[in-house]
Structure 1
Amino acid sequence: MINEREIEGGLTQVEAERRLKKYGPNAIEKKNGISPVKIFLSQFNDFITWILIVATVISGFMGEKADAITILIIVIMNAILGFVQEFKTERSLETLKELASPTSKVLRDGKIRIINAQELVIGDVIFLESGDKIPADCILLSRSNFMVDESLLTGESEGVEKSSSGKNNSIYMGTIVIKGKGKARVIQTGMKTEMGKIAGMLQNIEKDRSPLKEKLTSLGKVLVVMCIAICILVTLTGVWRGQDKYEMFLVGVSLAVAAIPEGLAAIVTVALALGVSRMLKRNALVRKLPAVETLGCTSVICSDKTGTLTENKMTVKALYFNGRIHKTKGEAFSENMMMKKAFTYCNDCDFDVKKANISEALIGDPTETALIKAFFTEGKALKKFMDKADRIYDIPFDSDRKMMSVIMREGSKKVCYVKGAPERVINRCKYILSNGQVKLFTLTERNRVLRAVENMTSDALRCIAGAYKDNAVTAGRSLENNLIFIGIAGIIDPPRKEAKDAVLKCRLAGIRPIMITGDHKNTAFAIGKELDICKTQSQVITGEELDKLNDRELSRKIRDISIFARVNPGHKFRIVKAFKAQNNIVAMTGDGVNDAPAVKEADIGICMGISGTDVTKEASSMILLDDNFATIVSAVEEGRVIYDNIRKFIRYLLSCNLGEVLTMLLTSIFSLDTPLLPIQILMVNLATDGLPAIALGVDPPEGDIMRGKPRAKNESIFARGLSEKIIVRGTLIGVCTVLAFVIGLYLGFDLKTARTMALCTLIISQLIHVFECRSEKHSIFEISLFTNLYLLAAVSISMIMLLCTIYVPFLQMVFHTSALMISQWVIVLFFSGIIAFMNSLYLYFKSNNA
């Protein structure tokens, strides 16, 4: 039985919590994610690692128990490090899924609230409008032109018209509202819904494979083959020279484990996931990981004006009626009763009559609340005014029509009130209300009104016209014709303070900021000029002018356009296509259901988190939680930072691994003793490949990160000289390590000491190189050590590990090292740092003479 009180005021929060506990969350049960145990075991799912484990077990049975145990410990520690990385990534993605879950507008304790859809319970009263995904099975209580896309359930692509009575009043979870608005009561949630029964609910976060990760996975396979071939060569060379076959086999396997960058693709995922977390802190929720890569390539940002470039804090500053413009000073304006009725009745705001202050009482779209606040100061007065009439029919606002109409029963008569874009409303008016008299709307009067619109829009006011019609007895096409023009409201929506700085940042970064708005051309130009998006009106084009251009003409003309005014969602799609035709990487914002095609077509589709519909959110790559243009620019900056950091640790890992391989290969070629034992090779891998590489993934941006042009989308990760840097630096690391080893032997030190010198040189040269990798343009001298404390900590831990292996007696036996004297440290530090020192001097003088 339906409880009328629950329908009027909604459930109480206490009752809702009780039902949530009883029935469970409104969610489709998901398959269990990857378990921690499986993630950990997957770290050993590598052919080379299994060979090493088997070899060390055999070694243990042969009496080399200390070596075998230590190698297994190192392998397990590497697995633990990989597990932590992957587990954190999985948790980050799960957190993002929860954040991206749909919300619902619900009536609780007599107030409209926005809650997570999972918190809905049976009996909740919810409000729906075009673009919303229906969050539970419901019955409609009231509706206006309400149409639903039920293709997910029925397969039928045509929308279904719904009523608020009879058999056609049921709506189902997962289906989409494609037209109108409605009020509904929840009757089933979670797995008991129709959607739950077929378990067809789609996940919100899409775990797309990152293109960069795919490329690096392919690269990794090539490197694996190359490394294995070199390791086999090293092993065979040692055997040919008469060294112990088993020892050389273990050397080859250990070198393969250390040299193969098996974690390269995994670290990319970690870097992307960490970047996504940082973006979230800056109010940008990334739904698809590949978008993070693309963000750094963005060359055009197409942004809505209202609420994104502007504050979305609307205030009526002027009213036009009776032939002149009346300035308002914030007080309630009640001089024109018909204007008051038009803008108050033709309005979808909700209000709380208990609130004395009108700003606190109103709930709804900022434009509509601004129109009411122009005529009322408190909720009780508004309630009294609304009680005098009864809305019996309405046609909701539509971005194509740019109008809204309602029919109100006032006593014994029915009156239609209309509000919308001035040019649309004026074209439907046959009469004008002037000083209380209805007169013919002559050409002279029309021109006078249009001049008023020009003057108001030139002052950056957003204009909305009002009209009415007596005896509105039908709801057909003629409803909005032969109207009586009342007047115009001029609303100011000031630019966001941070938007101008964000626009400047775009220009310095080689990114074109583009404003898209449904507002008048003059209003758009005034705001655009203030934000420095454009300088002349020739850079502004209207939707009407856009329609006169074919795609080829638009593609040519778009190079000179910075503002698109009076456009509809269909225009947005053409704008994206035109910019992409010029080889731009385009970011496009949207919120309404009709924006979804343009958002999906863009390289980076961005949905408004506050005003965006569920349909547009699902089509988007990123959601702005604060609907702020500056957040888009911050996300682009973060995208560049992430890509740069990926290049940093690729440079570091590959050059270091190359150095390790060459160390062993060169000594084999020149018939020298093996410079590193298997357990020492694994020690190098543990000390240098894990923590320092991850720390590079969170390196802060360089100061000029937003001072260069966007990179090309198809640019190789090794472009701009990265491959040369890797080869040269890797070769020098290997050569210096071999030289330290050879000089140690030449000076008469025993083999154990020489190997210890080689071990220290190889590790320290890599730990110095990690600081070089922080910048491709600046030397170590120009980069503050303390801007990345994680890297300092990682390097410190690695150095402590190294010192322990050569000075702790027990570890000396395990790793076959000896304590070095000062003279030996001088040799180690010289060969570890000389190349970095010379390279830093070169970069320093190059940057200062540039």
Structure 2
Amino acid sequence: MSYNIPDHLKGLNDSEVTASRKQYGYNQIDAVHKSSALELLLNILKEPMLILLFAISVIYLIIGDYGEALFMFLAIVAVSAISFYQDNRSKKALEALEKLNEPLSKVIRNAQVVEIPTNEIVVGDLCITEEGKMINADGRIIHSNDFSVNEASLTGESLSVFKSSESEDRNIYSGTLTVSGLAVFEVEKIGKATRLGKIGISISEIKEEASPLQLQIRRFVKAMAIIGIVIFGMVCVFSYYHTGNLTDSLLNGLTLAMSVLPEEIPVAFTTFMALGAWKLMRDGIIVKRSSIVETLGSTTVICTDKTGTITENTMQLKHLYDYRSDKVFDENDFGDAALSTLIDYAMWSSEPVPFDPMEKTLHKVYEQTQSGDERKRFQMIHEYPLDGKPPMMTHLFENAENQRIIAAKGAPEAILNVSVLSENEKTKIRNIIKALGQQGFRILGVAQSHFEGDNFPAKQQDFRFDFLGLTVFYDPPKKGIQEVFRHIYDAGIKVKVITGDNTDTTKSIAAQAGITHTAEAVEGKDIMAYSEEELLQAAEEKVLFTRMFPDAKLAVVNALKKKGEVVAMLGDGVNDGPALKAAHIGVAMGNKGTEIAKAAAALVITNDDLGKLITGIASGRRIYANIKKSVQYIISIHIPIILTVSLPLFLGWVFPQIFTPVHVIFLELVMGPTCSIVYENEPMEKNTMLQKPRKMTDTFLNWKELGISIVQGLAITAGVLSAYQYTVQNGGNEEQTRAMVFTTLIFANILLSLVNRSFYYSMLESFKNRNSLFAAVIGITLILLFAILYIEPLAGFFRLTGLNGAELGTALSIASLSVLWFEVYKWVKRMKKV
């Protein structure tokens, strides 16, 4: 973007920047504490599973079983390594997100406008702030146009304050937001020296609220932990009562406690969310909070702004309507002498340093069509900022010869209301506006006025204006936008267009973009006049909301939330801020979005491509589905471990201690990576984006889903205990029985992980979803199993013996029967749907 910066504003040169940084340092408040590798490791060592492993290791040391104690210590290292890998991967993903969220600032250096990371601002820099941007240092205004700032973050005052280089208070502060206009300010304080730094406000200190899914998982894990404590106590007492051996009783109790504790679930959740956010970041979607990934998949309504979101925000000047000649000129005729005054005043009514796309275009057309550039000869002496409903703005300029220009532009209706025109003339112009609006054009009215003296009216509407004509812009829909909305509708998601533009233009653009049910629209002023019941009905039924202002946008978003919708709000302007913050998912545009919009949003699309939102929703649905698969797998495989450890003991079977802590920890080491790393990598099932969104209020496992997992677990238990009894009945000793039970459970675990890749499609269909990690984990598990069975020191350590081919076949057959019955259940489910 080019700026018409006044010639005297040169900024610092490179040597002055270096000297200033040496004296004052970098523009940052104390960095937020980040966990070191050692701290991550210490946090892992506080996990309940590792505390249990430590306790078991100590007991083995006390009784002199050093081999078992060494294995437990090795298990502690292995479990810690897996947890550390996952935690560190999550930490790096979140740090990468944080780095992308770091804002850039515009400064003037060496007489050039450049963008730099905000922490590189130095004292003495000339910073440029414009509408929608956050101010990132304390300073003093030296140049401004129509500049107002919201200082609520420091003062609590929500109303914006107008400031300029001539105002009594021309100081601006870090952490405040530019509401309108533009200002160039000289930096006086940075980092900890700013008012914000002294107060010690840090956004990063705000604690993130737990999501519904997090709360549900926490409750589930707590419940299982309580059950584990109760069972631990029962087993210890029962075992001690029958054997009188305290050490063995404690080991039995701790073994069972290990089998009950589902510590993989919170680890899996954290991994899924952090890596999900990281993968979205690679796709150009910056997620402010990793838990928002979960909410994305539940989106039921997308509320989108029009300009810059559906459209390109290029604002090409297509036509000019000149009132005096009563003629519409197209872009090839802008050099016509009849348009000179209209183009002149359209430019003068814009900001001297334009930041709005339409104003940039008007300045450009002025340069291309006017014989002499008068901008340097005239100085702005007074301005009326954009206000009114509909809005308009007025600028007053004067040169050294006291010649004066008073130019106004704004919504056509606002300009017509203040112009000296008969009703017939106004009606004629309104018809022209309507005809142009129906073609999707964006229209502004332009007027001029004359005023003697310096006692200007309090309100710009009190001037006597002469109507000059209309500027007609075209902001075309983005390429491929129809395909984007088709995908949104296919996913069962509703679309609402909430824009400040007029009804005719919005209807035309919405139709071109492929948005349906656009026959009726409701305006912002009507929204604010509705009763609560009427508002709820309008929010649900209407698709187009036009002439909207911040309060009206917020009212619609809140009404949709009251109706139980999960709302994603897309916007890029200052006016979108409140609605973005109120929505379940505020989505800001990265390129053309204002800092206010980005600060309020939970998610930023870096390249302004609305199609990326579909990617985000698909990712949210995939992650949620995979978390459920992971949790159901954990529940199903824990049940046979718990019952295989406890039932032989409680029922007084011949080999009561069929599993010791060694066997349980081996199974835990197999299950950990499967449930978190492998399932996280699982691709999205086909037709996922053709389903309706799930309800946010749904629990992560309903009773039916929990019931299926329990039945799967009980079926595997029946198979494993059948292998136990089969071996005993055929004269097998304890080592042989343990080998059969252990092998059957490992085979069942592998088959369960494959079967649970989908709870609808067959296991063979799921193989089409390529996931190389499944092959890797299954391969490693089988290698370790055969090593334990057939390498003598390992077999002796695990207290089992090798199996012959027939026994292996029996174990595989039992495991297959106990798991693959679920494929029949899925087939019946598919047949019913057909």
Give the TM-score of the pair, scaled to structure 2: 0.92
Match of 1:458 in 2: 438
1:566-585 equivalence runs, <5 A: 566-585=547-566
Q: Which amino acid aligns with 2:799?
A: H
- Write the distance in 2 (CA, Å) between the matches of 1:597 and 1:405: 27
Report the 3-state secondary structure (helix = DSSP H, G, I; strand = E; otherwise coil) of the residue aligned with 2:480.
Answer: helix
Give yes or no for contact 1:19–1:121 (8 Å, CA) kept in 2: yes
1:394 aligns with 2:396: no
Match of 2:644 in 1: 663
Residues 13-58 of structure 1 show CA distances to partners (whole Å, capped at 9, x for unaligned) of 6754675466433110034233322221222224564344133233
1:312 aligns with 2:313: yes
Moved more, 783-792 or 324-333: 324-333
Query: CA shift at 1:650, angstroms?
Result: 0.8
Give yes or no for contact 2:151–2:176 (8 Å, CA) kept in 1: yes
Report the 3-state secondary structure (helix = DSSP H, G, I; strand = E; otherwise coil) of the residue aligned with 1:661.
Answer: helix
Q: Which amino acid aligns with 1:500?
A: Q
Residues 392-427 of structure 1 show CA distances to partners (whole Å, capped at 9, x for unaligned) of 333344585532322222553111112221111111
1:365 aligns with 2:345: no
Give yes or no for contact 2:143–2:185 (8 Å, CA) kept in 1: yes
Change (3 A) 1:11 1:784: farther
- Write the distance in 1 (CA, Å) between the matches of 2:452 and 2:691: 61
Match of 1:743 in 2: 726
Give yes or no for contact 2:308–2:592 (8 Å, CA) kept in 1: no
Change (3 A) 1:383 1:150: farther
- Write the distance in 1 (CA, Å) between the matches of 2:769 and 2:747: 19
Moved more, 36-45 or 798-807: 798-807
Report the 3-state secondary structure (helix = DSSP H, G, I; strand = E; otherwise coil) of the residue aligned with 1:706.
Answer: helix
Moved more, 317-326 or 609-618: 609-618
Query: CA shift at 1:776, angstroms?
Result: 1.9
- Write the distance in 1 (CA, Å) between the matches of 2:184 and 2:110: 16
Match of 1:499 in 2: 481
Superposition RMSD on alpha carbons, in Å?
2.9
Match of 2:586 in 1: 605
- Write the distance in 1 (CA, Å) between the matches of 2:783 and 2:382: 77
Match of 1:467 in 2: 447
Q: Which amino acid aligns with 1:531?
A: A
Q: Which amino acid aligns with 2:40?
A: I
Change (3 A) 1:407 1:5: closer
Give yes or no for contact 1:305–1:516 (8 Å, CA) kept in 2: yes
Give yes or no for contact 1:325–1:452 (8 Å, CA) kept in 2: no
- Write the distance in 1 (CA, Å) between the matches of 2:458 and 2:616: 46
1:504-523 equivalence runs, <5 A: 504-523=486-505
Change (3 A) 1:395 1:14: farther
Match of 1:437 in 2: none
Report the 3-state secondary structure (helix = DSSP H, G, I; strand = E; otherwise coil) of the residue aligned with 1:348.
Answer: coil
1:423 aligns with 2:423: no
Residue identity (%): 26
Q: Alignment partner for residue 770 of structure 1, among 749, 753, 757?
A: 753
Structure 2: stretches of 5+ with no match in the other structure:
none
- Write the distance in 1 (CA, Å) between the matches of 2:345 and 2:672: 69
- Write the distance in 2 (CA, Å) between the matches of 1:610 and 1:292: 22
- Write the distance in 2 (CA, Å) between the matches of 1:194 and 1:769: 59
Report the 3-state secondary structure (helix = DSSP H, G, I; strand = E; otherwise coil) of the residue aligned with 2:201.
Answer: coil
Change (3 A) 1:699 1:19: farther
Q: Alignment partner for residue 824 of structure 1, among 804, 807, 821?
A: 807
- Write the distance in 2 (CA, Å) between the matches of 1:798 and 1:153: 58
Match of 1:436 in 2: none
Q: Which amino acid aligns with 2:561?
A: K
Moved more, 761-770 or 809-818: 809-818
1:682 aligns with 2:665: yes
1:298-377 equivalence runs, <5 A: 298-321=299-322, 322-329=325-332, 335-348=338-351, 350=353, 364-377=355-368
Change (3 A) 1:221 1:336: same
Q: Alignment partner for residue 810 of structure 1, among 782, 785, 793?
A: 793
Query: CA shift at 1:247, angstroms?
Result: 3.2
Query: CA shift at 1:177, angstroms?
Result: 3.5
- Write the distance in 1 (CA, Å) between the matches of 2:51 and 2:526: 67
Moved more, 501-510 or 517-526: 501-510
Match of 2:209 in 1: 208
- Write the distance in 1 (CA, Å) between the matches of 2:207 and 2:59: 45
Match of 2:540 in 1: 559
- Write the distance in 2 (CA, Å) between the matches of 1:386 and 1:273: 53
1:618 aligns with 2:608: no
Q: Which amino acid aligns with 2:330?
A: K
Match of 1:29 in 2: 30
Match of 2:271 in 1: 270
Change (3 A) 1:707 1:543: same
1:477 aligns with 2:477: no
Match of 1:409 in 2: 398
- Write the distance in 1 (CA, Å) between the matches of 2:120 and 2:763: 53
Query: CA shift at 1:325, angstroms?
Result: 1.9
Query: CA shift at 1:505, angstroms?
Result: 1.8
- Write the distance in 2 (CA, Å) between the matches of 1:399 and 1:24: 45
Query: CA shift at 1:290, angstroms?
Result: 3.9
Give yes or no for contact 2:381–2:396 (8 Å, CA) kept in 1: yes
Match of 1:447 in 2: 427
Query: CA shift at 1:105, angstroms?
Result: 2.5
Change (3 A) 1:802 1:652: same
Moved more, 329-338 or 527-536: 329-338
Report the 3-state secondary structure (helix = DSSP H, G, I; strand = E; otherwise coil) of the residue aligned with 1:774.
Answer: coil
Residues 742-793 of structure 1 show CA distances to partners (whole Å, capped at 9, x for unaligned) of 2223333332122122112212212221122222211212112552223332
Query: CA shift at 1:77, angstroms?
Result: 1.1
- Write the distance in 2 (CA, Å) between the matches of 1:185 and 1:156: 24
Q: Which amino acid aligns with 2:418?
A: R
Query: CA shift at 1:186, angstroms?
Result: 1.1
- Write the distance in 1 (CA, Å) between the matches of 2:153 and 2:559: 32
Match of 2:823 in 1: 840
- Write the distance in 1 (CA, Å) between the matches of 2:21 and 2:725: 73
Report the 3-state secondary structure (helix = DSSP H, G, I; strand = E; otherwise coil) of the residue aligned with 1:485.
Answer: strand
Residues 452-500 of structure 1 show CA distances to partners (whole Å, capped at 9, x for unaligned) of 1111111111112222223465443354432121221221111122322
Q: Which amino acid aligns with 1:9?
A: K
Structure 1: stretches of 5+ with no match in the other structure:
351-362, 431-440
Residues 700-724 of structure 1 show CA distances to partners (whole Å, capped at 9, x for unaligned) of 2112112122222211111272101
Report the 3-state secondary structure (helix = DSSP H, G, I; strand = E; otherwise coil) of the residue aligned with 1:721.
Answer: helix
Q: Which amino acid aligns with 2:489?
A: R
1:66-85 equivalence runs, <5 A: 66-85=67-86
Query: CA shift at 1:306, angstroms?
Result: 0.8
Residues 490-544 of structure 1 show CA distances to partners (whole Å, capped at 9, x for unaligned) of 2111112232222122222221111111222111001111223234522x22224
Give yes or no for contact 2:239–2:252 (8 Å, CA) kept in 1: no
1:39 aligns with 2:33: no
Match of 1:355 in 2: none
Query: CA shift at 1:232, angstroms?
Result: 4.0
- Write the distance in 1 (CA, Å) between the matches of 2:304 and 2:371: 35
Match of 1:170 in 2: 171
Report the 3-state secondary structure (helix = DSSP H, G, I; strand = E; otherwise coil) of the residue aligned with 1:317.
Answer: strand
Give yes or no for contact 2:308–2:572 (8 Å, CA) kept in 1: no
Q: Which amino acid aligns with 1:171?
A: I
- Write the distance in 2 (CA, Å) between the matches of 1:287 and 1:119: 23
Give yes or no for contact 1:146–1:163 (8 Å, CA) kept in 2: yes
Moved more, 35-44 or 149-158: 149-158
Change (3 A) 1:373 1:330: farther
Match of 2:59 in 1: 58
Give yes or no for contact 2:264–2:675 (8 Å, CA) kept in 1: no
Query: CA shift at 1:814, angstroms?
Result: 2.8
Query: CA shift at 1:388, angstroms?
Result: 4.6
Give yes or no for contact 1:283–1:625 (8 Å, CA) kept in 2: yes
